[in-house]
A = this chain, B = another copy of it.
Amino acid sequence: MCTASISAWQGVERLHTFLVVLDLAGTFVFGLSGALVGVRKKLDLFGVLVLSFAAANAGGITRDLILGAVPPPAIRDWRYVAVSLIAGLLTFYWSGIIQRRRSAILLFDAAGLAIFAVSGAQKALTFNLNPLGAVLLGMLTGIGGGMLRDVLVSEVPTVLRSELYAIAALAGAAVVVGGHMLNLPVGPAVLVGGLLCFGLRVIAIRRGWQLPTSRQRVHDDQLK
C-alpha cells in the first residue's frame, strides 16, 4: 500500500513537472513571437521585452485566474520570467537569425498555440473542470497570448482573421480531454493533441485554407 501511494505521488509529481516543462516551452515560443512583432514595430529594447512577456504569459495567467490558481506561476516562478526575457533578448539581438525562415512569427505562434492549448486543457482537468470546460479553457489559454500581443500593437488579432486558428487549438485541446475521458496515458494524448493543433495550423497557413466567410451582406449604413 505504501508503495502504491508513493507511486501515485510520483505520478502526480511527474505530471506536474511535465506540465511545467510544456508551459515553459510555450512561454518561450510565444515570447519569440511577441518579441518579433515588437522588433517589426520598431519598439525599443524594453518595449520588445514587455511585448515578449505579454505574449508569453497572458494565456497562462488568464487560465490560472479562471481556475482560481492564484498567484499564477507566470508571476510567482522565476523560470517563466527568465524564459520570456531570454526569448525577448534573443530576438532583439539576433532576430535576423531567428527569422531566416519566412513567416517566423507565424511558426512560433503556431507552436505556442499548440503547446498552450494542450497544457491549458490538461491543467483544467487536474482542477477537475468538466470536459467541455477543459476544452474551452485549453483554447482560451492557446489564443490568449497572441490576442493580447496583437491588441497591444493595435492590430486585429490573428485569431480573428486567420486560417483555422482557434479551431486548431480546439482540436488539440479536445484530443487531450478525449484521452482523459478514455483513461489513456497523459503523455501521448498531449503529444498527439499538440501535433494535431500545430499541424492543422501550419498546413492551413501553407495552403491558405480558410473557413468560409458569411455570404450575408451587411450594409455599412445599417451598422453605423
Residues of A within 8 A of B (CB): 36, 38-51, 61, 65-68, 70-72, 75-78, 81, 91-96, 99, 102-105, 127, 129-130, 132-133, 136-137, 140, 143, 147, 151-157, 159-167, 210-214, 216-218, 220, 222-224
Contacts and interface: CB of A to CB of B under 8 A. Distances in A.
Q: What is the copy number of this chain in the assembly?
A: 3
Contacts of A39: 213-214, 216, 218
A96 to B, nearest CB: 5
Contact of A218 (B36, B72, B162, B222): B36
Given A61-B66, A70-B67, A99-B218, A44 B212 contact: yes
A133 B47 contact: no
Contacts of A159: 47, 50
B71 A212 contact: no
Contacts of A154: 154-156
Contacts of A151: 151-152
Nearest to A96: B216
Given A38-B160, A78-B132, A154-B154, 6 more contacts: A36-B223, A44-B212, A94-B216, A104-B222, A147-B152, A153-B160
A197 to B, nearest CB: 14
Given A78-B132, A129-B71, A133-B71, A41 B216 contact: no
A164 to B, nearest CB: 7
Contacts of A161: 43-44, 47
A205 to B, nearest CB: 11
